[in-house]
Every structure is written in C-alpha cells, then in structure tokens.
Amino acid sequence: MSTYQEERIPFPSPWRLVKELRLRRPPWWLVALLLLVVIGTWIPLTLIYQARQQTSRLPRIHFFHDMDHQPKFGPQAAHPWYVDGRSMRQPIEGTIARGMLEHDQEYLLGYVTLDGTRASSPTRFVATLPERLSADSNLLNRGRERFGIYCAPCHGVEGAGNGPINQAAMALKEGKWVAATNLMTQMIRERTDGQLFQAISDGVRSMPSYRSQISVRDRWAIVAFVRELQQTLPVAAEPQEASSTASASASTTPATVP
C-alpha cells in the first residue's frame, strides 16, 4: 500500500472495528410493530381457550356439515301437514324394508298362505322344521341358550310352566296373571312346529310377541329345543282349564292357537 493510500484509507483501530460491526438499534416503530404482532398471535389462543372452557346453548361452529345437521322432524314430533298431527308415519301396507324380503313363507312365518290372502289368516302351518334347517347339535344348543333367556323365566328350564316369574305372579293371587303353559302336555305336543313358531313370533294370550327380540333362525332353534325336551321328558297332565277348553280351541282358526 502506498503512502497516499495509507493517508486516504487509514487502518481502523480495534475499537472502531468493533463499533462498526455492532448491529444498529432498530427504530422504535419497528419494535412496536413486532410487539403488536406477537401480542396479536395470543388473541386466537385466548379465544380458543375461552370457547373450550365455557358452555353455551348454541351449537358449535360447523364448517363441514357432513349431514350432521339435516332439516328433519325428531321422534314423536308434531307435523302440521297431516290430519293426525304426527310426523312419524306408518309404512305403506305391503311394503318390505330393505334386506327383509323373504320368499320362503314356511321359514319366515311358520305357515303358508294362499295367493291373495292376508298374512293374518294362515291356511296351513308348517308340520316340521323348514328344509333349510336341521336339528343338529348346533341348532339345539342355540335353542337351549335362547330358551333359557326368553322362555325359561315363565315356562321354566324344563318347560313345565314353573318359571320364577310365573311362580311369583301366581303367589300374588291377584287374578290378573295368566299361568304360563306347560309345554310338556299332550295338547302342546300335538301342535305343529309352525304353530309353536307362530306363537313365539306373534305372542298368545298374555305372552307378548318376541318377533323383534328373537331372530327367525333362533325362533326355530327354540322350537327344536322344545321338541327335544318333549322327547326326553314324560307327558304332563293337562290343566283343568285347558281340558275344559280343548274342544273349543280345536275349532278356532290356526292364527289364534294358545
């Protein structure tokens, strides 16, 4: 470096070099702007925390409905369009729910109807189990299990009509309870499998319908188990009220079997 260059560009001292390399203090408006931005980011977090900690009668904000909110009437709600004022309508007579179409009447109903007759007027009950079922060990075990759940409380474990519910109701002696039928009597043994199946499906006397609680296959399994009990247990004596009405019940329609 020449003398001229040394005079024009003197070598900086260490203190000057450090001072020049030190960052300058930012202006106050830039500091204030950054501070506002940082504080502004806290506002959404505060609102979210407040929304999660408080309760409200209004529904939450739903950006994507996904059919969660639909214009519809709830159960038992009123509807001004109909004379009866009910929004819940009965299905059209003759319609069948999706997946419930069954062409085999013997399997589904336990009886066969003639063409054009109503299902409430059966013409011929099925004598034995439908062809698609076989009284094997699996079906009998299933019937024993279902019988113990739905039938034994009234009819007893062996079908003798001495279940705990029947005994408790008879002990009250209020005259409102119809005694459970002894399934080991000769009258019940002479019933066809279809009649027993129909009694389980539609109910009889004070016995309610179990169509919605027990599937079709399980109802046939119960019938098969009852037949198994009748083969292993002796014939029970007919109750007095049954013997006096046996002739009258024989002349009734098959849909009203006891």
> 3-class secondary structure for the chain?
CCHHHHHHCCCCCHHHHHHHHCCCCCCHHHHHHHHHHHHHHHHHHHHHHHHHHCCCCCCCCCCCCCCCCCCCCCCCCECCCCCCCECCCCCCCCCCCCCCCCCCHHHHCCEECCCCCCCCCCCEECCCCCCCCCCCHHHHHHHHHHHHHHHHHHHCCCCCCCCHHHHHHHHHCCCCCCCCCCCCEHHHHCCCHHHHHHHHHHCECCECCCCCCCCHHHHHHHHHHHHHHHHHCCCECCCHHHHHCHHHHHCCCHHHCC
Radius of gyration of the chain (CA): 41
Domain assignment present for residue 184? The answer is yes
Query: Residues 6 or more apart from 128 whose CB is under 8 A from it?
Result: 192, 193
- Whole-model pTM? 0.55
C-beta of residue 223 within 8 angstroms of C-beta of residue 214: no
Domain assignment present for residue 246? The answer is yes
239 and 150, same structural domain? Answer: yes
Distance of CA 215 to the CA centre of its chain: 13
Domain assignment present for residue 90? The answer is no
129 and 46, same structural domain? Answer: no
136 and 13, same structural domain? Answer: no
39 and 136, same structural domain? Answer: no
What's the pLDDT at 243? 45
235 and 146, same structural domain? Answer: yes
What's the pLDDT at 8? 57
Q: What is the residue-level pLDDT of the chain in tens, covering all 258 positions?
A: 555 555 555 566 666 666 666 667 778 888 899 999 999 999 988 888 887 888 888 877 777 877 777 788 888 889 888 898 988 888 787 777 776 666 778 888 888 876 655 555 557 888 889 888 888 999 999 999 999 999 999 999 988 888 998 888 888 877 778 888 899 999 999 999 999 999 999 998 888 899 989 999 999 999 999 999 999 888 888 776 544 444 434 334 444 343
Domain range for 246 is 125-256
Angle at alpha carbon of residue 44, lines to 38 and 46, rounded to 5°:
95
How many structural domains comprise the chain? 2
CATH code, 207? 1.10.760.10
Domain assignment present for residue 69? The answer is no
Domain assignment present for residue 147? The answer is yes
Domain assignment present for residue 88? The answer is no
Distance CA 190, CA 177 (A): 25
Find residue 86's DSSP bridge partners: 78
What's the pLDDT at 100? 66
What's the pLDDT at 151? 93
